[in-house]
Structure 1
């Protein structure tokens, strides 16, 4: 059972590395009982072929590193979101096997992204955590499928706050924003909630 981390690389620098390291080492402790901590800066020297443009570093691991991939990255456009439903989905750890998420994503129809509803509560999109605009606050679900590293950073910075968000609450917000390790707050897709089908 592999897990992985996806780390943003800009100007040959690994971004938010301490957050990725914390999640990876927490996963190693909880899934496999390890109490040592991996040092990702040591494990991930940036190779020469990675230039100053945005890249994605993907490290897959279980008890040891399985593989490391470095790929150019470009952000995708999100214009419409479709709600999908699954009451039992579990993605507490960043599992390499995304079959259950892929099956939900296949239900998106003409939308670019999905919003996963579990037991009446909003969780995440396929690849992103989400936040909703409530007046001058941005609120993110207290129980996402996967607590993302960008989400952790934004919470620490006080940019977003957590709360329970029910599906029925969506219409009371003005906007939704989608963000992850590769898409920081400044570049996150922001849509009117009317674009959530």
Structure 2
């Protein structure tokens, strides 16, 4: 499991920077603070805004590695991954904090190379893909798994805004949904051209 790889694991925040604008920084700061408190009992603030020197033009993935203190920060030009096929895979993977070590997640994807992404089923319930939280449209509302692998910043924002509604979802429930969407800090909220009931 990711957090068992090192005695002092590195954590990760991935922040969208678009034409010089830093997106959802408050939610990233909240997660950073919470993670450092849980792992290191650290109650001082690692002020992310003081380290970010946002590129003035273009779309970038600001990749911040940290533990008790800042480890590194880099700006990577961003091109979204095209997702046209999904598969549900069962796993007991643990990824409740955003660790930089993604070996276990990458292994799930590596063993399912014939699809673009996998939806991880844990203890009978759907959670996340390896790169994003998920949501399904029930005809009126967008429903997101109540117990994701990782509580993403975009997911938190959309729940706070009343757009997303947490609920336990099983693969048998997919017949009740008409659309599926992925969300993370970089892609925002992206509806896929995939019918949920066809996801196996």
The TM-score range, normalised by the shorter chain, is: over 0.9
Matching residue of 2:45: 37
Question: Is 2:199 the counterpart of 1:193?
Answer: no
Q: How far has the Cα of 1:174 moved from its partner?
A: 1.2
Among 171, 176, 195, the residue aligned to 1:167: 171
Query: Which string of whole-angstrom CA distances, capped at 9 and with x for unpartnered residues, describes residues 152-197 of structure 1?
Result: 0100111110001112212221111011000112x45352214423
In 2, distance between residues paired with 1:82 and 1:109?
Answer: 10
Matching residue of 1:81: 86
Matching residue of 1:183: 187
Higher mean C-alpha deviation, range 143-152 or range 61-70: 61-70
In 2, distance between residues paired with 1:169 and 1:107?
Answer: 25
Instruction: Please report the TM-score for the alignment, with normalisation by the length of structure 1.
Output: 0.93
Higher mean C-alpha deviation, range 187-196 or range 134-143: 187-196
For these two proteins, the number of residue pairs brought into alignment is 192
In 2, distance between residues paired with 1:141 and 1:178?
Answer: 12
Contact 1:81 1:195 in 2 (8 A): no
Among 41, 55, 71, the residue aligned to 2:76: 71
In 2, distance between residues paired with 1:126 and 1:195?
Answer: 19
In 2, distance between residues paired with 1:156 and 1:190?
Answer: 26
5+ residue gaps, structure 2, are 1-8
Contact 2:125 2:170 in 1 (8 A): yes
Contact 1:6 1:57 in 2 (8 A): yes
Contact 2:180 2:191 in 1 (8 A): no
Question: Is 2:152 the counterpart of 1:148?
Answer: yes
Contact 1:84 1:117 in 2 (8 A): yes
In 2, distance between residues paired with 1:118 and 1:16?
Answer: 28
Report the aligned-residue RMSD.
1.3
In 2, distance between residues paired with 1:194 and 1:67?
Answer: 42
Query: Which string of whole-angstrom CA distances, capped at 9 and with x for unpartnered residues, describes residues 100-142 of structure 1?
Result: 1111111223211110000110000010000011011100001
In 1, distance between residues paired with 2:83 and 2:197?
Answer: 14
Matching residue of 1:110: 114
Question: Is 2:32 the counterpart of 1:24?
Answer: yes
Instruction: Please report the TM-score for the alignment, with normalisation by the length of structure 2.
Output: 0.92
Contact 2:179 2:192 in 1 (8 A): no
